[in-house]
Amino acid sequence: EDACGGTMRGSSGIISSPSFPNEYHNNADCTWTIVAEPGDTISLIFTDFQMEEKYDYLEIEGSEPPTI
């Protein structure tokens, strides 16, 4: 089984689903934590993003109120 999820640290990185660009297994539960220093800004850029209606979802949350 492919690894899914983890913790990202550093100034940049790439997050992808297991076996990308191939399909991943049903019922995959991927949770990523992005760690930044206080005062740093985290930017998310989606370059290839597909979801299966009624089954997949994306949830983004932070420890402080977001600023957009």
Q: What's residue 27's pLDDT?
A: 85
Q: What's residue 61's pLDDT?
A: 87
Residue with tokens 């997050």: 15
- pLDDT tier for residue 68 given thresholds of 50, 70 and 90: low
Residue ranges of domains in the chain: 1-61
Residue 34 · residue 27 · CB < 8 Å: no
* Phi then psi dihedrals of residue 34, to 5 deg: -110, 120
Q: pLDDT digit string (tens) for 8-64?
A: 998 899 998 888 888 888 888 899 999 988 888 899 999 988 888 999 999 998 876
pTM over 0.85: no
